[in-house]
Every structure is written in C-alpha cells, then in structure tokens.
A and B are shown apart, each in its own frame.
Chain A
C-alpha cells in the first residue's frame, strides 16, 4: 500500500479527520495532492473500527468515525494524488501519528513544504525541525488546506466560511484558535455567511 511518492503537503491523523468532516473535503480530494504516513492510516483505521457508525449526531464518536472513514477513502483509492509513506522506526503510543510526521520530515526535510497538524504543540516542534534543517517548510493548522482550495478558486468564500464553521463545531476551542488565526491572516469576511455565535 505504501509507495515512495512524497507530495509537498504531509497531513496527520487529526488534521485529516478535521478537514474530512467538512463539506469541502471532496474539493480538497479533487484538487490537492496529499501525503500521510502508514501510522496515521492505521490510526484512522483504528478509529473506524473502534467507534460506531451509529453514534449520536454531533457526538465526538460520530465525528471520529465519519471523519476517519472519509479521510481513508482517497488514500485507499490507489490515487496518484494520495500517497502513504512508511515510517521507520515505527512510533507507538497516543501521539504516534503526529510523531511519525516529525520522523518523516526529519528524514526527508527537503521533500515537504507544508505539514498540517491539528495539535499546536506538534506544529511547534515540527516548525523547530524545519528551522533546524534550513529547509523551506511550515507547519500549519488544517484550515490551511481549506485556504489552498479557496486561493486556487476551487471554492467560494461562502463555502470556505461554512467549512471553517463546520470544523469549529467539531473541534471546539482548538479548532476555534486555528480558524481565528486563518481569518486574521487572510482578508475574508465571513460575517455575511455565518451566524454571530461562531464569528469573532
């Protein structure tokens, strides 16, 4: 299943789940080339196995199940745009997926320009790694994938804003921080499309 193709964007488990739960995931799949690690794929498979398809609407369990299933599809579809690299040595434990991204970047620093992670601490340590290897790379939150399709003209401002709100509802305060930062960084006014309860 793993191949040696390394696209410039590498995405971890939680970031894939966050974006795959938005309605823009199909656009992301159509437009972007993504890489992840075998460890992240196994984490997604474990979420699908260990959570119920019939978990209540709006529950964290449903978010994990639906997001993980949707995230796995393009990687399983044998598409050239979605590649899985094997991480050696294989990390273990609750942060294994995140650690595998760090290991992969440490071994192939010039292959990656964007590392997409949900966890702020994970992003910080990968940014230190990019700095230390003197390669051009930046670890950013999952909202960046939504920005890439917006910037290419593959989705409307409204679709971008809606997807941010969907991510916010599923990811709570962690997602909120990433979304506020995205809204601060790019000049887009979501107030025409979203309710006040999600706007700054």
Chain B
C-alpha cells in the first residue's frame, strides 16, 4: 500500500524528453515536480464521476477523509457548499411579503 513518503513515479520517457525540451526553451526552466503535482490533481478531479464526488464528500463529512485530500479531489466544492449555506441562511432572514399565495 502507498504511504505518504512514497515518491509518485511513472515510466514516461517521451514525457521526460518533452519536459526537457520545454525546460531548455525557457530561461528559468520549468519545475517538473510542481507541474506533475498540478497535473495529477487536475486529472484526478477530471476522472471522478458525479457519484464518486458525492461518495467522497460523504466520507469527508464522516471524518474518513482529511480536509487536504478532500480539497485536492473536490476542488472548490467544499467552499461552494459553505458559500451556499451562508446564502441560504441569509435568504431565510429576508422579508417574505408577497411570496405566498393567499
């Protein structure tokens, strides 16, 4: 089983060559590790189905998933729920005259 200290490695000769080409092209080079981290996050999010996102959020709510991991997987989904809750609460305080049928 993977642990937090494991390096994430994959065989990618062509990808390595491609990143070297870009690295040489730029004066400051590129940070391949950072790009790989961002790429992995992006791809993980993209592969998740709607049902999987729901399952993951339920695990997070139960405390079975850390906030750090939930944020990687669900992106701003967590903030969205929080923003939505605040909007909902604010709306419940607004005057409702004329809202209901007599």
A residues with a Cβ closer than 8 A to B are 7-9, 30-33, 81, 113-114, 120, 123-124, 127, 136-141, 143-144, 147-148, 151-152, 172-173, 176-178, 180-182, 184-186, 199-200
In the complex with contacts A81-B101, A152-B100, A113-B94 CB distance below 8 A: yes
B92 and A186 contacting across the interface, CB-CB below 8 Å: yes
What residues of chain A lie closer than 8 Å to B87, measured between beta carbons? 123, 127, 138-141, 181
Interface positions, chain B 12-53, Cβ under 8 Å from A, are 50-51, 53
Q: Which of B61, B82, B101 touches A200 (beta carbons < 8 Å)?
A: B61
Bound together, the chains give a CA A65 to CA B39 distance in angstroms of: 38
Bound together, the chains give a CA A33 to CA B96 distance in angstroms of: 11
A176 and B90 contacting across the interface, CB-CB below 8 Å: no
Tell me the smallest distance from the CB of A121 to a CB of chain B, in Å: 10
> Which range holds the interface residue count of chain B?
20 to 34
Bound together, the chains give a CA A162 to CA B29 distance in angstroms of: 56
Find the A residue at minimum CB distance from B74. A173
A147 and B92 contacting across the interface, CB-CB below 8 Å: yes
A9 and B88 contacting across the interface, CB-CB below 8 Å: no
Bound together, the chains give a CA A174 to CA B92 distance in angstroms of: 21
What residues of chain B lie closer than 8 Å to A152, measured between beta carbons? 100
Bound together, the chains give a CA A141 to CA B94 distance in angstroms of: 15
A185 and B85 contacting across the interface, CB-CB below 8 Å: yes
A185 and B101 contacting across the interface, CB-CB below 8 Å: no
B54 interface hit (Cβ, 8 Å):
yes
B5 interface hit (Cβ, 8 Å):
no
B residues with a Cβ closer than 8 A to A are 50-51, 53-54, 57-58, 61-62, 77, 80-85, 87-92, 94-101
Bound together, the chains give a CA A176 to CA B94 distance in angstroms of: 24
A144 and B95 contacting across the interface, CB-CB below 8 Å: no
B100 and A180 contacting across the interface, CB-CB below 8 Å: no
What residues of chain B lie closer than 8 Å to A182, measured between beta carbons? 84, 88
Bound together, the chains give a CA A127 to CA B91 distance in angstroms of: 11
What residues of chain B lie closer than 8 Å to A148, measured between beta carbons? 96, 99-100
Tell me the smallest distance from the CB of A68 to a CB of chain B, in Å: 21
What residues of chain A lie closer than 8 Å to B88, measured between beta carbons? 140-141, 143-144, 147, 181-182, 184-186
A33 and B100 contacting across the interface, CB-CB below 8 Å: yes
What residues of chain B lie closer than 8 Å to A173, measured between beta carbons? 50, 53-54, 77
Bound together, the chains give a CA A9 to CA B101 distance in angstroms of: 12
Q: Which of B94, B97, B99, B100 touches A138 (beta carbons < 8 Å)?
A: B94
What residues of chain A lie closer than 8 Å to B51, measured between beta carbons? 172
In the complex with contacts A138-B87, A140-B87, A141-B88, A184-B99 CB distance below 8 A: no
Tell me the smallest distance from the CB of B66 to a CB of chain A, in Å: 17
B89 and A185 contacting across the interface, CB-CB below 8 Å: yes
Bound together, the chains give a CA A141 to CA B89 distance in angstroms of: 12
B99 and A178 contacting across the interface, CB-CB below 8 Å: no
Tell me the smallest distance from the CB of B36 to a CB of chain A, in Å: 26
